[in-house]
Amino acid sequence: MAAWGRGVAAVAIMAALSGCLSNLPAPDSIQLAPVPGVALPFKARVMVFVGETDIARKLTIALTRYQSEETNIREGLALAKAAKLVLAKGFETVEVNDPSIRPQIVVKLTGSKASWSRLDGKMKTGCAVDAWTSDGIPLGNFVARYDADRTDYTSELEAAFAQCLKKPVEELLNSPALARLAGTGFRAPSVAAYDAWMRSLGPIPPFM
């Protein structure tokens, strides 16, 4: 009986560390704080830009204090999907790496990163929302961190990024720069300025 009890306890511990006991909310369940005087979503087109290196990046996990390994989990893809879902709570049209929507705002995710440890099942994420008009006027750079215990990196990476992105997106939605842009009706930039700045992003890899 004692042996059976120890076996059950061991299974419970492994389940906890693998994330089976985690309950991170689904990414699309994120609720953003209201923007005073504004009925979200803003009627604007937003392109999330994720560069070739970032979108192909794979998650590295810590096996021990001194050993880590690269997984097959595409960290950059999870980040891009989470960003699209969270930004879509605040803007009418959001796509990833799709200039065909003729975006009025471009959001870069440069610098966002995640890590996971097998020692305690903790997921640590850092995220950055670097927002610009599509002709190169900065709207602000907003950063945050989010750590979650007892997570499963194979299924909860996107959810962890969504939690991390909530604060930066709320700050963008409440920023004076965005309020000024909204006051212009999200003006369309000149074709020349738009084309020049979008080219400055470099290659835009296909999403998914």
192 in any annotated domain: yes
Tell me if 49 sits within 8 A of 204, measured CB to CB: yes
Domain of 159?
A: 38-200
Q: How far apart are CA 135 and CA 105, in angstroms?
A: 9
> 58, 60, 55, 56: which is closest to 84 by C-alpha?
55
Q: How far apart are CA 164 and CA 127, in angstroms?
A: 6
For the chain, the domain total comes to 1
163 in any annotated domain: yes
Tell me if 166 sits within 8 A of 86, measured CB to CB: yes
29 in any annotated domain: no
Structure-block tokens of residue 115: 């890590």
Task: Give the side-chain half-sphere CA count within 13 A for 16.
Answer: 9
Instruction: Write down the pTM of the prediction.
Output: 0.85
> What pLDDT is attached to residue 22?
56
110 in any annotated domain: yes
> 129, 126, 42: which is closest to 89 by C-alpha?
42
Using 50 as the pLDDT threshold, list the residues of the chain that sit under it: 1-21
52 in any annotated domain: yes
> What pLDDT is attached to residue 141?
97
> What pLDDT is attached to residue 63?
87
169 in any annotated domain: yes
Whichever domain contains 175, its CATH number is: 3.40.50
83 in any annotated domain: yes
